[in-house]
Amino acid sequence: MIFLTVFLSLLSSALIYNGSFVYGLVFLIINIFLLIKEKNKKIFYFSLVIFIGFILFLLIKSFLNNINLNYFLVLERKESYAVIFNGFKSFYLNIEDNSTLDSFDIIKIEKPLLEKLDFNVLESGFDFKSYLFSKSVDYQISYEKIEVVFNFPLSFYFMKKNFLDGIKNPIYQNFLSGILFSTMNYDLKETFLVKDLQIITLFSQTGIYLNFILYGLKKIFELKFDEKRAYIYSFLLFLPFLFINIIRFTTIKVITFYIFNFINKFYFNKKFNRVEIISLVGSFFIVISSRIIFQAGFYISFLIYFYLYLTSSKFYEFKPIEKKFATQILLTLIIIPFNISFNNSFNFLSIIFMMILLPFSKVMFIISLLTFLFLPSEIIEWLIDINYRIIYSFDSLKINIFVPKFNELTMIIYYLLLSLFLYFFEINYKKRYEQIALVFLFSVSIYILPIENSFSYQVSFINVGQGDSTLIRDRNKTYLIDTGGLTYTDLATNNLIPFLKKNRIYSLDAVIITHYDFDHYGALESLKENFNIKDIYDYNNFDNFKEKNDLNIKNLNDYYDVWTDENDRSLVLYLNLNEEYFLFMGDASKTIEKKIIDEYKSLTVDYLKVSHHGSSSASSLDFLKFINPKEAIISAGKNNFYRHPNKEVLDNLNKCNIKIRRTDLEGTITYKFI
């Protein structure tokens, strides 16, 4: 009990200190409940001291972090950046692709200049700033010169890079990178499918492969040696690969558990039970780095450990096949909220898929590891082909439910109901766990069904960086104006489709392309390939739109065929949605604005999508006074090359007292009406 209460005290302190107040209070309440049930005042006061003391420790540590030192240890090397540590705090360091820096090098930076982290995050895209936050990185360092003081003898980054560069097929290369080093490129369709089938979370975050190898080696050594020596030999034999991946939390976690279990077994005679070991390891990691609790490898793993412990006695009553199936169902239930957070969807076949693929993947991991060490790549390439045939067969069934990410409240309710169900299941209170199961299934069904879409209207200006893409939803009818387009990422698979999924949208009734600048249509081909689109319209066939769709939308630019300039050929779309009026200007210039003023005596506009991302080529003061919207939305990329929006445009909007909203500052901007 003492170790569990220490773990919960440290966890709640770390959550509250780092700004996650709701989750912090939840774990604090759980801790208080367990302490009251224990009826031990000494443990209660000890827990209170740990809770308050750890917050004070973090405050003092934060103050010490301000000490400025010039020497840094390279903790992690990536393709274009490194995470470095000065003995008190970690920093982000931007480096050249050809830099020779590697993990555990020591460098000297003269007069380092600290800057707050500032990265562009597209809709549903990877939040690099949050990722660095979980690694206790808040600042980046600017520098003029770096001096390498010490080169670590082994170059882990380049060992992995050289191995992967030797695999010519990008699909094989990507798979090996994922299974061996847990880094994958999700722009590849094959990897996108793996992610969609919800197997990446379990494999990459829990260290399941590493445990399999470690304990598998131990069993082999036990055939010749006693258990203690088998523990040691298996660890030493596998240590080189573990050391190559030592910068990953999953690897550190597996090593730590292995060592703690070894010490407990052979030096404390199994004095500590499983939950005490889990609590000890968890407490150790939180003290080392309080923000580690925000890494998926931490919170997913420890949830799994605790839930498996809660059900361990009941599961031992099952037959081997029943136990395996029950464990797989439990694992799936535990990681569903996190899979939904990563994928905005849930595949009903993922339980079956994981049961089929898990044993096969263990074999693939062994062959991949041997390929990394000495085997030719042909064997693993053959196995990867089989793997993707299985993935394609499951994907063809398309049994995906689109679900928005759980917020704090829904996450708490989900795990509360799951915990109650498992508690009553463990004590065999059949009536109660059946009732909770019904409540659980009903709550989940209400959450995942697109009920709200049947009676609401929505316009979302999607954050696609330097470009345009707007979702219009008229109850269950959905339309997309433009798709955006970026050269460095697939906006369709990485941003647009996840956004549609979390809005519970399974198909688009139409995609309307205002004009053919890449930043307005560049993601169209990928979107067509990976999502269901019924019709596509542009300025050549927009007149046919009204024949097939009921949306109350009109093109105000009847002059598109007069112009050779692509921007002036833009559709200018005027929408009446539930008596709210929107005007989408595409990239139309002041010339088109003047023609609209001349043609229409008045135009009611509540919301204006500002033309050309706020360029000075449009949004004249006369036009803004003519339409007089309540709000103006500018879709532009953060710190973009063109410096959009232009100061003149912002001044014109301010002169007209129009509220300015910007995707580069706010992210996706959504208006909903009932």
| pLDDT tens-digit readout, 338-385 | 888 878 887 777 777 777 777 777 888 889 888 988 888 888 888 888
For the ranges 288-297, 447-456, 533-542, the lowest mean pLDDT is seen at: 447-456
Average pLDDT over residues 61-88: 83
Q: Residues 120-179: pLDDT tens digits?
A: 899 988 889 999 999 999 999 988 888 899 999 888 888 888 898 888 888 888 888 877
- Mapping DSSP onto H, E and C, the string for 279-301 reads HHHHHHHHHHCHHHHHCHHHHHH
Higher pLDDT, 276 or 325: 276
Looking at the predicted structure, is the pLDDT value of residue 193 above 70? no
Q: Residues 419-454: pLDDT tens digits?
A: 999 888 888 888 898 999 999 889 888 888 888 888
Q: What is the pLDDT of residue 491?
A: 93
Rounded CA gap, 517 and 20, in Å?
Answer: 42
What is the helix, strand, coil percentage profile of the chain, to 5? 55, 15, 30
The backbone torsions φ and ψ at residue 572, rounded to the nearest 5 degrees and listed phi first, read -115, 105
The backbone torsions φ and ψ at residue 192, rounded to the nearest 5 degrees and listed phi first, read -60, -40
**By the 8 A CB rule, do 212 and 365 touch?**
yes
Rounded CA gap, 586 and 612, in Å?
Answer: 6
* Most confidently predicted of 194-208, 235-249, 508-522: 508-522
Looking at the predicted structure, is the pLDDT value of residue 200 above 60? no
Within 10 angstroms of residue 539's Cβ, the number of other Cβ atoms is 21
Looking at the predicted structure, is the pLDDT value of residue 205 above 70? no
Looking at the predicted structure, is the pLDDT value of residue 199 above 60? no
Residue 374's SS3 state is coil
Average pLDDT over residues 172-191: 74
Q: What is the pLDDT of residue 479?
A: 97
Q: What is the pLDDT of residue 192?
A: 59
Sign of CA dihedral 222, 227, 229, 231: positive
Res. 642 pLDDT band, cuts 50 70 90: confident
Rounded CA gap, 570 and 584, in Å?
Answer: 10
Average pLDDT over residues 476-482: 95
Counting residues of the chain whose pLDDT is more than 70, the rounded percentage is: 95
Beta bridge partners of 481: 470, 512
Q: What is the pLDDT of residue 452?
A: 85
Average pLDDT, the chain: 88
**By the 8 A CB rule, do 72 and 85 touch?**
yes
Q: What is the pLDDT of residue 256?
A: 92
Looking at the predicted structure, is the pLDDT value of residue 196 above 60? no
Q: Residues 156-165: pLDDT tens digits?
A: 888 888 898 8
Average pLDDT over residues 591-612: 93
Looking at the predicted structure, is the pLDDT value of residue 397 above 70? no
Rounded CA gap, 567 and 565, in Å?
Answer: 6
Which tokens sit at 359? 């044993």
Res. 492 pLDDT band, cuts 50 70 90: very high
Q: What is the pLDDT of residue 56?
A: 93
Which pTM value belongs to this model?
0.87
Rounded alpha-carbon distances, angstroms, from residue 143 to 67, 92, 135, 147, 593: 18, 12, 21, 11, 47
**By the 8 A CB rule, do 466 and 491 touch?**
no
Average pLDDT over residues 58-86: 84
Counting residues of the chain whose pLDDT is more than 90, the rounded percentage is: 47
Q: What is the pLDDT of residue 639?
A: 86
Q: Would you give the DSSP letter of residue 467?
A: S
Return all residues near 558 (Cβ < 8 A) that are at least 6 apart.
Answer: none
Position 523, amino acid:
A
CA nearest neighbour of 464 among 481, 478, 484: 484
Pairing status of strand 106-109 against strand 90-94:
unpaired
Average pLDDT over residues 494-514: 94
Rounded CA gap, 588 and 248, in Å?
Answer: 49
Rounded alpha-carbon distances, angstroms, from residue 19 to 9, 146, 298, 299, 595: 16, 34, 18, 16, 52
Res. 204 pLDDT band, cuts 50 70 90: low
Q: What is the pLDDT of residue 395?
A: 66
Half-sphere exposure (Cβ direction) of 504: Cα atoms closer than 13 Å:
16
Q: What is the pLDDT of residue 663?
A: 96
Q: Between 378-395 and 189-196, two packed helices, what is the crossing angle to 10 degrees?
A: 60
R_g of the chain, CA atoms, integer Å: 28
For the ranges 64-73, 80-89, 607-616, the lowest mean pLDDT is seen at: 64-73
What is the C-alpha end-to-end distance of the chain, expressed in Å? 51
